[in-house]
Amino acid sequence: MSEVRGAVIWFTGLPGSGKTTVAKGVMRRLKEMGYKVELLDGDEVRKWLSPEAGFTREDRERHLIRVAHVAKLLARNGVLALCSFVSPYRYVRQRVRGIIEEEAPFVEVYVRCSLNECMRRDPKGLYKRALRGEIKHMTGVDDPYEEPLKPEVIVDTEHESISTCVVKVLNKLKELDIIA
């Protein structure tokens, strides 16, 4: 029996940019194609992996390093791990990439969307709360988001449909021989 190759597909972008929406679309298509897929979503994973973590730079880094190890375990067991995390700092994303690439392919997907559009969408009301001073360390408000310099894929949810974004990700996975 040939071994199925797993990988980690890491979706990064501002809060409200559409990371999870795109990742769910990719997951749906991959499952239809017969792949083993797990979605690790920022809000959900934080509850069970790092419930004590706040949103300081140190807390975010510690949390994302934990996520990287979980994703690597999934990938080395033939699972396509879709990780949807703001992951605002370049150096932390580089650390995550290094951890995962020890054993599995890593694909960074930058879910681009302007801060103004993310604030307009504000699906969880986080920007409004941050602007009122109720949330500290809010990415895009009082904490920076450092855009990826060389992501494998860029999708633009402000100007492209979700289905177009999903196809772009799938095409890159095919190009990288991660999926057939």
For range 66-89, the mean pLDDT? 97
For range 11-23, the mean pLDDT? 98
- pTM (two decimals): 0.95
Query: CA nearest 15: which of 53, 41, 45, 40?
Result: 41
Q: Quick one: pLDDT at residue 48?
A: 86
Q: Which of 17, 84, 87, 163 is catalytic?
A: 87
- Are the CB atoms for 40 and 10 separated by under 8 Å? no
For range 6-23, the mean pLDDT? 98
Residue 1 has pLDDT above 80, yes or no: no
Q: What is the pLDDT of residues 32-75, one digit of tens each?
A: 999 999 999 988 898 889 888 888 899 999 999 999 999 999 99
Q: What is the pLDDT of residues 117-166, one digit of tens each?
A: 999 999 999 999 999 999 999 999 999 999 999 999 999 999 999 999 99
Alpha helix positions (H), 1-148: 19-32, 42-49, 57-76, 90-101, 115-121, 126-131
Query: CA nearest 19: which of 115, 89, 105, 85?
Result: 85
Q: Which CATH superfamily is domain 7-170 in?
A: P-loop containing nucleotide triphosphate hydrolases (3.40.50.300)
Q: Quick one: pLDDT at residue 3?
A: 57
Query: Which burial class, exposed, middle or buried, applies to 48 when counting CB atoms under 10 A from its CB (0-12, 13-18, 19+)?
Result: exposed
87 is catalytic: yes
